[in-house]
Structure 1
Amino acid sequence: MPPTDERPDFSTVADLFLLHGSMQSPSFLDGRLCAALALHELSATAWLEETCMGLGVEQPRDRDSAEALLAWRRHTLETLADNSLNYEPLIPDELYSLAERAQGLREWTMGFLEVIQDAGNEPREGWSEPLREAVDDLAALAAMDTNIDDSAENENDLFALTEHARMAAMLLYTEQRPGQPQVEAGEPTRH
């Protein structure tokens, strides 16, 4: 099933966080969301509770905020499960400096790895060697120096690192949720 909601962008979610009085990066929670959707049955209610806890509030500010947070979860789940494998981590885009984008990737990775670590060793026992290596490689991403200058070489490196994180996320999802997506069938989703 192709994704039904348009992918939220980093700035939109960051603005939503600011409305709730939080300066936290959406990237960290997106990494947590991605790993949790792969490893657990993360319900919409549980996602709202986790997000509110991360924002330091009891509940979303209003109905529109709640809907935006739920649409973020729904879109992430659908893109992870979609046969076109077009999941993208929610990190700052080209409007931000490379250092800010690198920091977003680092924060996404930290959130992703935190959920994996919290799950313990049991899920990891059934992983393929490529998935284990991909997740182990993410530890270096979580520790990377984000004080980089804007250059073509750094941009290419950041793109490759982001692609590695994206592939690790999709590999985790496909191994933990066999049969979703059906990689062999279907046309790529067009946006």
Structure 2
Amino acid sequence: MSLINERQDFSTIADTFLLHGSMQSPAFLDGRLCAELALHDLSAEAWLEEVCLSLGVDQPRDEASAERLLGWRRQTLEALSAAELNFEPLLPDELFSLAERALGLQEWTLGFLEVVADAGEAPCGAWSPALREALDDLEGFASIETDIEDSPENENDLFALTEHARMAAMLLYTEQHPGKPQVEQLDTPTHH
């Protein structure tokens, strides 16, 4: 059975990390992945190398692990460049406590901002005010309270923060790749 089209989720990637002896959360690397795909058109080889370096291994332990890690990159790239704007950061889902999910978002943000900070002044100068504002807001996420209790209020707040991170990633990608995705401009008046 091929894993090529298997949807990669947080738990699948975390399990793959465990296979390699790493307890780290995939969220930080997913944040880096999103920003690197937007800013550097990160190749599959470079991504595999980065993940292995992060896991402290020379190479994936087996073909299935390599396919999963490459599938993660491919799935992220496809979602970032899709017209449906259905990209989702790779974060802990409802099976995790709210505190674990908040920590995941914080780690994702740190990874994402690390790559953005390394981009330098040149690309930043061309970014729209909306993108710069979104990135400035993300800076605040790095210090969000992660020791939170499970409550509908906290759940809503975390959802809003996650949505903001998601939009920032898509905005960064679309500004670096004009014309991808082909977003329909439905609200522009048509002249007859």
What's the TM-score, normalizing by structure 1? 0.93
Matched residue, 1:12: 12
- The equivalences for 1:48-63 within 5 A come to 48-63=48-63
One-letter amino acid of the counterpart of residue 147, structure 1:
D
Tell me the CA shift for residue 6 of structure 1. Answer: 4.4
CA distance in 1, matches of 2:125, 2:75: 29
One-letter amino acid of the counterpart of residue 46, structure 2:
A
Query: Structure 1: where are the runs of 5+ without partners?
Result: 186-191
Query: Structure 2: where are the runs of 5+ without partners?
Result: 186-192
Matched residue, 2:96: 96
CA distance in 2, matches of 1:46, 1:18: 21
Matched residue, 1:23: 23
- The equivalences for 1:69-88 within 5 A come to 69-88=69-88
Whether the 8 Å CA contact 1:5–1:74 is kept in 2: the answer is no
SS at match of 1:101: helix
- Are positions 1:108 and 2:105 aligned together? no
Matched residue, 1:188: none
- The equivalences for 1:142-157 within 5 A come to 142-157=142-157
SS at match of 2:117: helix
Greater radius of gyration (CA): 2
Matched residue, 1:122: 122
CA distance in 2, matches of 1:6, 1:184: 29
- The equivalences for 1:154-169 within 5 A come to 154-169=154-169
CA distance in 2, matches of 1:6, 1:162: 24
One-letter amino acid of the counterpart of residue 102, structure 2:
A
What's the TM-score, normalizing by structure 2? 0.93
SS at match of 1:23: coil
